[in-house]
Amino acid sequence: MNRARIVLRLSASLLLALCLVAHAKPHHAKAPPPPQPLGPRPALVAFADGLATAQGWDVAALREQLAQALDLPKVKQLILPAAVGTAKNWTAYRDRFIESKRLDAGAAFWAENETALARAESQYGVPAEIVVGILGVETFYGRITGGFKVLDALATLAFDFPSEHPRAAERQAFFRNELAEFLKLCRENGLDAADVRGSYAGALGWPQFMPGSWRQHAVDFDGDGRIDLITSPVDAIGSVAHYLAEYGWKPGEATHYSVRLPADPITRRRLLAPDIKPKFTAADLQEAGAQPSEAARDHVGPMAVIELQNGPRKPTTVLLGTENFWVVTRYNWSAYYALAVIELGQAVKARRLQATR
């Protein structure tokens, strides 16, 4: 027999075998089962009865609507925190947001909404670039607002929250409240709850407000008589500025400064301990051996010493966050998020000035 042919045939059967092995792998075995309705479980029924009674809604209809909501496995997976020990990387995080396409979109958004941004700035004291930074990081200026059915996502997290989450009980209670807020919001704004889409956690529209934040902080900024964060960028602009103002934005105050920390590890640890909470005056920092920038030395009010990791090997990024930096973290509890918002806003502003020059 021709030796080459044997090799060929062997190879062919080996290939076939490899294909079979590959296809036998669990993720090829079968498609995941389609999501199932939550059904009339006791906690859901009690919630529906309590909410419908308090609001004067049809009890049976709400029970039915919630029982038919789908229990989404993907949502339960996404709500779990990232694995412990994963080194964060500010440089990589920054590059995801401060990139050419988003800067172009931001400059176009600013040009289209110049009047509304200026009006929000004069009314609430929040600079246009911060609002532009938030809307760019959250949804790429309304392009990515989430594809999950919010009713299903919130019902999943309200009644089938993954028990392996470290703060499962607290988070489940939070999402039960957000579900109630969502149902009220839909009735108040004439939205069909079954149709509204958003993030896996139920965040909505251009600014990705949670339903409770929408009801508490959103404003009708285009004056059409309704608050619409899903299709009105102008309502989104006013609402973001109003939200930050309500959390204590100080007009005219910087968001952050540069600093050099002392080498002594015990002092560094003490300065970093309050994390994003502004606790130290410029004098406190200098007394501890830190070297705040000249502008930071003139800053009145407390500052936070913030350290951002740049992967496992590169030196960290260190800065002083003011109370305004802290206000940005009220939108999303993360120094990485806040700095990305601030730097995106600055970069869009620079691109805009370049374009108009």
Distance of closest approach, residue 221 Cβ to Ca ion, in angstroms: 6
* Distance between first and last Cα of the chain: 79
Report if residue 307 touches Ca ion, rule: CB under 5 A: no
The gap from C-alpha 229 to its chain's centroid, in whole angstroms, comes to 16
What order of strands is seen across the sheet that includes strand 291-292?
291-292, 256-260, 314-321, 304-310
Residues that bind Ca ion (rule: CB under 5 A) add up to a total of 5
Q: Rank residues 233 and 278 by Cβ distance to Ca ion and give the closer one.
A: 233
**Which of the ranges 29-37, 40-48, 231-239, 282-290 carries the binding residues for Ca ion, by CB under 5 A?**
231-239
How, if at all, do strands 291-292 and 256-260 pair?
antiparallel
Q: Rank residues 114 and 224 by Cβ distance to Ca ion and give the closer one.
A: 224
Q: Rank residues 91 and 115 by Cβ distance to Ca ion and give the closer one.
A: 115
SS (H, E, C) 137-193: HHHCCCCCCCCEEHHHHHHHHHHCCCCCCCCHHHHHHHHHHHHHHHHHHHHHHCCCC
Q: Rank residues 123 and 316 by Cβ distance to Ca ion and give the closer one.
A: 123
Query: Is 138 known to be catalytic?
Result: yes
Distance of closest approach, residue 105 Cβ to Ca ion, in angstroms: 22
Q: Which of 121, 138, 181, 323 is catalytic?
A: 138
Are 65 and 197 within 8 A, CB to CB? no
**Which of the ranges 171-179, 185-193, 232-240, 281-289 carries the binding residues for Ca ion, by CB under 5 A?**
232-240
**Which of the ranges 106-114, 176-184, 230-238, 292-300 carries the binding residues for Ca ion, by CB under 5 A?**
230-238
Helices (H), ranges, 247-334:
265-272, 282-287, 294-297, 323-328
Residue of the chain from 49, 222, 275, 307 that contacts Ca ion (CB under 5 A): 222
Report if residue 224 touches Ca ion, rule: CB under 5 A: yes
Q: Rank residues 222 and 275 by Cβ distance to Ca ion and give the closer one.
A: 222
Q: Rank residues 161 and 206 by Cβ distance to Ca ion and give the closer one.
A: 206
Residue of the chain from 138, 160, 181, 235 that contacts Ca ion (CB under 5 A): 235
Sorted by sequence, the CB contacts under 8 Å of residue 53 that are 6+ apart come out as 59
Amino acid at 288: A
Distance of closest approach, residue 205 Cβ to Ca ion, in angstroms: 12
Distance of closest approach, residue 50 Cβ to Ca ion, in angstroms: 31
Please tell me the distance from the alpha carbon of residue 76 to that of residue 71, in angstroms, as a whole number.
9
**Taking CB under 5 A as the criterion, which residues in 166-205 touch Ca ion?**
none
Distance of closest approach, residue 231 Cβ to Ca ion, in angstroms: 9
Report if residue 71 touches Ca ion, rule: CB under 5 A: no
Phi/psi at 204 (5° precision): -120, 140
Distance of closest approach, residue 308 Cβ to Ca ion, in angstroms: 37
Q: Rank residues 65 and 213 by Cβ distance to Ca ion and give the closer one.
A: 213
Any idea what DSSP says for residue 339?
H
Beta strand extents in the chain (DSSP E only):
36-37, 70-71, 148-149, 197-198, 256-260, 291-292, 304-310, 314-321
Please tell me the distance from the alpha carbon of residue 290 to that of residue 296, in angstroms, as a whole number.
11
Distance of closest approach, residue 119 Cβ to Ca ion, in angstroms: 13
Are 241 and 209 within 8 A, CB to CB? no
The catalytic residue positions are: 138
Task: Return residues touching Ca ion (CB under 5 A).
Answer: 220, 222, 224, 228, 235
